[in-house]
Chains A and B, each alone.
Chain A
Amino acid sequence: MDHTKKSLASDPTKYGRRNINMKVETNVSPKTDAPDGMLAYKGLGAKDIRSAGVKAVNTDKMTKRMAWVAQVTAVRDERDKAAFAEIFGYFAPRVKSFLMKSGASPDLAEECTQEVMATLWNKAHMFDPVKASVSTWIFTIARNRKIDLLRKQRRPEPEELPWGPEAEPDQADAMGLQQETAKLGEALATLPPEQRKLIEKAYFGELSHSEIAAETGLPLGTIKSRIRLALERLRHKMK
Chain B
Amino acid sequence: MRKMIDIKHHLTEPLLMGYAAGTLPEAFNLVVATHISMCDSCRAALAEYEAVGGEVLLGNDPVDVAEDALAATLAMIESGADVSAVVKRAPPPSNKGIFPAPLRQYVDGDLDDVKWRKIGGGVSQMILETSKEASVRLLHIPAGTAVPDHGHRGTELTLVLQGAFVDETDRFGAGDVEVANEDLNHTPVAEDGVDCICLAATDAPLKFNSLMPRIAQKFVGI
Using a CB–CB cutoff of 8 Å, the interface residues on chain A facing chain B are 4-5, 8, 81, 84-85, 88-89, 92-98, 100-101, 106, 109-110, 113-115, 117-119, 121-123, 131-133, 135-148, 151-162, 180-181, 184-185, 188-189, 199-200, 202-209, 224, 227-228, 231, 234
Contacts and interface: CB of A to CB of B under 8 A. Distances in A.
A204 B69 CA distance: 22
Instruction: Tell me what chain B mostly uses at the interface: helix, strand, loop, or mixed.
Output: helix
Contact of B59 (A4, A5, A106, A189): A189
Contacts of A209: 14
A224 B14 contact: yes
Contacts of A89: 70
Given A110-B69, A202-B21, A188 B131 contact: no
A239 B216 CA distance: 54
Nearest to B46: A158
A209 B21 CA distance: 12
A155 B131 CA distance: 11
Contacts of B13: 227-228, 231
Contact of B73 (A88, A100, A203): A88
A152 B20 CA distance: 17
B52 A92 contact: no
Contacts of A137: 54
* Among A143, A154, A155, A158, residue most surrounded by chain B Cβ atoms (within 10 Å): A158
B101 to A, nearest CB: 4
B119 interface: no
Contact of A156 (B34, B53, B74): B34
B52 A203 contact: yes
Which 8 A-B pairs have CB atoms at the shortest separation, nearest pair first? A93-B62, A135-B54, A136-B54, A159-B37, A156-B102, A159-B101, A143-B22, A156-B33
Contacts of B62: 93-94, 96-97
Given A144-B22, A156-B33, A188 B14 contact: no
B83 interface: yes
Given A95-B57, A139-B53, A153-B130, 16 more contacts: A88-B70, A97-B62, A110-B65, A115-B76, A118-B73, A122-B82, A135-B57, A139-B56, A139-B57, A143-B20, A158-B43, A184-B55, A185-B59, A188-B59, A202-B17, A202-B18
A187 to B, nearest CB: 8
